[in-house]
């Protein structure tokens, strides 16, 4: 009968993570978007990205790990979606299309800032791993 504690733990984890991924009311979501003066992991936390993503290069870890680590989004986005990070953020597809239209509604300027922040964290990731590669700009 060891399955009962495991099932209870799994159910509790599901209950705890579902509210974190529920979209906030639109006015509240707009108020949480970080400005251009916010730096590093704080920018990602304030925008709400860390509700689903980790940013290991900034030591921001999400224990639910339901989305890819944003430290490598510069490489990950082109391999997954076939477009540059900048292009993807301006016209996202899949789950991110929904997230960026309801949960984290960003203006085109904020999406450009998001690309800048993701490139900054990628450079930090490269420095940490010693893997310096040029950032592709399409």
CA distances 73 to 6, 11, 26, 27, Å, are: 33, 31, 26, 28
Please report the pLDDT score of residue 7 as a whole number: 46
The pLDDT profile of the chain, 138 residues, written as one tens digit per residue, is 455 554 444 444 434 444 445 444 443 444 457 777 888 899 999 999 999 999 999 999 988 878 999 999 999 999 999 999 999 999 999 999 999 999 999 999 999 999 999 999 999 999 998 876 556 655
- Judging by beta carbons within 10 Å of its beta carbon (0-12, 13-18, 19+), is residue 94 exposed, middle or buried? exposed
Q: Where do we find the tokens 């509790």?
A: 12
């Amino acid at each position: 009968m060891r399955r009962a504690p495991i099932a209870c733990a799994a159910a509790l984890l599901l209950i705890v993570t579902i509210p974190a991924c529920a979209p906030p009311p639109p006015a509240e979501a707009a108020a949480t978007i970080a400005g251009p003066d916010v730096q590093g992991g704080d920018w990602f936390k304030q925008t709400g990205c860390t509700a689903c993503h980790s940013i290991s290069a900034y030591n921001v870890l999400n224990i639910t790990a339901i989305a890819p680590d944003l430290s490598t989004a510069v490489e990950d986005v082109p391999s997954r979606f076939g477009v540059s990070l900048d292009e993807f953020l301006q016209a996202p597809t899949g789950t991110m299309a929904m997230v960026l239209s309801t949960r984290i509604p960003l203006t085109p300027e904020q999406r450009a800032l998001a690309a800048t922040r993701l490139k900054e964290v990628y450079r930090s990731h490269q420095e940490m791993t010693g893997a310096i590669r040029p950032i592709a700009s399409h």
